[in-house]
Amino acid sequence: MQLKPINQQVVAIVGASSGIGRDTALKFARRGAKVVVAARSSSGLSSLVGEIQSFGGEATAVVADVSDFNQVKAIADKTVVQYGRLDTWVHAAATGVIARFETITPEEFQRVIDVTLMGQVYGAMVALPYLKQQGRGALIHVSSMEGRRSLPLQSPYSTAKHGLEGFLEALRVELQHEGLPISVTSILPSVINTPFYNNVRTKLGVKPTGIPPYYQPDLVSEAILYTAEHPTRDFIVGDVGRMLDLLQRFSPELLDSLLALIGFEGQRTNEPKSEVGPDNLFAPVPDHDRVEGDFGNLTIPSISDWVEMNPAIKWGALAAGMGIAAFLGAWQAQNDV
């Protein structure tokens, strides 16, 4: 499966007014792609387009709420009207409610599903016909490690991300069966320093936080750009995410116990926040139209992401590890004799 170089691509980025989506749009534009950016925040999109145009990039904005299929379809249609085609669809829009399950209303839970799961489904529905017209392309969906392992206090978000993982698995196999060279990628970030925790609704009485450590948004945007050129099934972002994935596979019960110990206090700050404080569950929060959140002091680097994007090093290290294991096995067998 061959994907176009980024500087030859037309890319739609959904959820682009802040966080991962905003940084991704800036990076695509800096590397020569034509971008269509979409979100609910008109002011956030306006500032983003202005920033892109200031360094000579090409960008068009579409204001849209992803819970509405017709508004999502308008993003894809506008992309093709403006630039003649669609090569890559990046879907990053999400919202959440951080609270104990029994305090979440049916309307709040449904809203998270509508935005964080159904918005992604709608994105694939509207992008696929245009990708098929091109005969190739990429669907890149920003999921979460909560699609692999749910967290307490985040039942709606974890439910949505688990649903997204199931949807992408089914879609990927259908496209393979049809022989269509369309890459379907799930990006699974660890805890990322974006305004997500400023924006989510919370009923904890304090501003919420992810369970540290954090990673900076550019780690995720670099993974997205990598998968836009290199067909990739799943891309876990952050060393901690890869360790979490292994632990979940090894012993979910052990992880249950660990999260019961750290998962409640670990998602609370000392900063008061009322249940009626500003959040983006039903409307955007323009004050938070930026890439980074408030937890830069808790961020760490990640080594495994760099290895993942350098296959020669990755497979060389694996081969070396297998060689060492074989040598040690032979040495042990010789000594046993």
Query: Which of the residues are catalytic?
Result: 157
CA neighbor of 186 nearest in space, from 301, 302, 91? 91
Q: Phi then psi for 55, rounded to 5 degrees?
A: -105, 20
Return the SS3 of 234. Answer: strand
Tell me how far apart the alpha carbons of residues 85 and 80 are, in angstroms, rounded to a whole number: 5
Structure tokens at 67: 């819970």
Starting from the edge strand earliest in sequence, which strands make up the sheet with 234-237, in order?
Answer: 58-63, 34-39, 10-14, 88-91, 137-142, 182-189, 234-237
CA 170 to chain centre: 19
Taking the alpha carbons at both ends of the chain, their separation in whole angstroms is: 50
Tell me how far apart the alpha carbons of residues 234 and 140 are, in angstroms, rounded to a whole number: 10
Radius of gyration of the chain (CA): 21
